[in-house]
């Protein structure tokens, strides 16, 4: 869609970027949850900066070699967010939860499999990253979210739109994360609902086709029996 050069580049850097995203997520989580010191802190900081540089290089190269550059830019704002906002970088991993769906046997099932795996992966990853981000923002604010467990519980409440109100962010950064998680939760619920509806429609359609096939088989059998009876009547001796 945006040129063969861009397609070749994306195929070439796909897995290196997955590894970079995993390394970033590990270093990001270590900095927030373990508060490392000394050499470990230095290594985590180097990993964060190196992965950021890699994502920035990938974004600049893709923007430079893409045909219809402005169209590509407006359709890849998430990629820009991945470069600009550190908490979004692990979201690149979500596209790889669709790989398992490739083993499905037909196109309809494969599409639903991709959507289902994407939804599961996106939900787990979004909850984890949002919990990390909000915990980082809230842990020293004196608000209700004071532990990582509180942050995970809050993330599940928010993404499912339950919102008990027992935990909530009080900092500006925490509230920005909350807004993003609310929007993402609504989108994910829509995807889950659509996938479930599609599965129900398919099951009803399959059962209807099976019933129709059985009816056609029975009709053909009756036609055969009628034909045999007609033949027997023709061959029977007349009185």
Q: What's the pLDDT tens digit per position in 144-166?
A: 999 999 999 999 999 888 878 88
Same domain membership, residue 206 and residue 130: yes
Sort 86 into a burial class: Cβ within 10 Å, 0-12 / 13-18 / 19+. middle
Given 84, 110, 137, the domain boundary residue is 84
Last residue of a domain, one of 84, 100, 135: 84
pLDDT at 126: 81
Query: Is 117 in the same domain as 224?
Result: yes
* 113-128 core/surface letters (b: 16 or more CB in 10 A; e: else): bbbbbbbebbbebbbb
Residue 52 has pLDDT above 80, yes or no: yes
pLDDT for res 236 = 66
Question: pLDDT at residue 41 above 50?
Answer: yes
Does the pLDDT value for residue 39 go beyond 70? yes
- Both 237 and 121 in a single domain? yes
Q: Which residue has the higher pLDDT, 239 or 222?
A: 222
Q: Are residues 112 and 157 in the same domain?
A: yes
Kindly tell me if the per-residue pLDDT of 110 is higher than 90.
no
Of residues 39 and 196, which shows the higher confidence score?
A: 39
Query: Does residue 107 sit in the same domain as residue 193?
Result: yes
Q: Which residue has the higher pLDDT, 151 or 29?
A: 151
38: left (phi over 0), alpha (psi -120 to 50) or beta: left
Crossing angle between the packed helical segments 148-159 and 172-235, to the nearest 10 degrees: 50
Task: Looking at the structure, tell me whether residues 31 and 67 fall in a common domain.
Answer: yes
Q: What is the pLDDT of residue 130?
A: 87
Regarding whether 223 and 119 lie in a shared domain, the answer is yes
Residue 114: phi and psi, rounded to 5, are -65, -45
Least confident of 49-63, 82-96, 210-224: 82-96
pLDDT recorded at residue 37: 80
What is the CATH number for 194? 1.10.287.70
Number of domains within the chain? 2
87 pLDDT band, cuts 50/70/90, is low
100 pLDDT more than 70 = no
Residue 151: give the domain boundaries: 92-239
pLDDT at 214: 67
Query: What pLDDT sits at residue 91?
Result: 53
- 148 and 34 fall within a common domain: no
Q: Does residue 113 share a domain with residue 21? A: no
Q: What is the mean pLDDT of residues 190-194?
A: 74
Residue where a domain terminates, one of 58, 84, 110: 84
On whether both 80 and 98 belong to a single domain, the answer is no
Give the pLDDT score at 237: 65
Q: Rank 19-28, 82-91, 101-110, 141-150 by mean pLDDT and report only the highest.
A: 141-150
Residues 182 and 236 in one domain: yes
Q: Do 51 and 164 sit in the same domain of this protein?
A: no
């Amino acid at each position: 869609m945006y040129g063969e050069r861009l397609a070749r580049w994306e195929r070439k850097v796909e897995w290196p970027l997955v590894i970079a995203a995993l390394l970033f997520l590990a270093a990001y989580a270590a900095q927030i949850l373990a508060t490392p010191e000394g050499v470990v802190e230095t290594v985590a900081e180097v990993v964060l900066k190196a992965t950021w540089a890699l994502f920035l290089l990938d974004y600049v190269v893709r923007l430079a070699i893409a045909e219809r550059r402005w169209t590509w830019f407006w359709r890849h704002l998430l990629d820009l967010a991945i470069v600009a906002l550190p908490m979004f970088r692990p979201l690149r991993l979500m596209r790889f939860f669709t790989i398992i769906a490739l083993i499905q046997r037909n196109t309809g099932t494969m599409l639903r499999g991709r959507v289902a795996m994407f939804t599961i992966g996106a939900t787990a990853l979004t909850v984890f990253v949002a919990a990390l981000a909000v915990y980082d923002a809230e842990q020293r604010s004196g608000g209700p979210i004071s532990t990582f467990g509180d942050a995970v519980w809050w993330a599940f409440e928010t993404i499912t739109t339950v919102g008990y109100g027992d935990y909530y962010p009080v900092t500006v950064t925490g509230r920005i994360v909350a807004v993003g998680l609310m929007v993402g939760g609504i989108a994910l619920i829509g995807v889950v609902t659509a996938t479930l509806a599609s599965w129900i429609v398919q099951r009803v359609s399959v059962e209807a086709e099976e019933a129709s096939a059985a009816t056609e088989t029975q009709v053909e059998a009756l036609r055969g029996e009628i034909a045999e009876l007609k033949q027997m009547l023709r061959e029977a001796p007349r009185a």
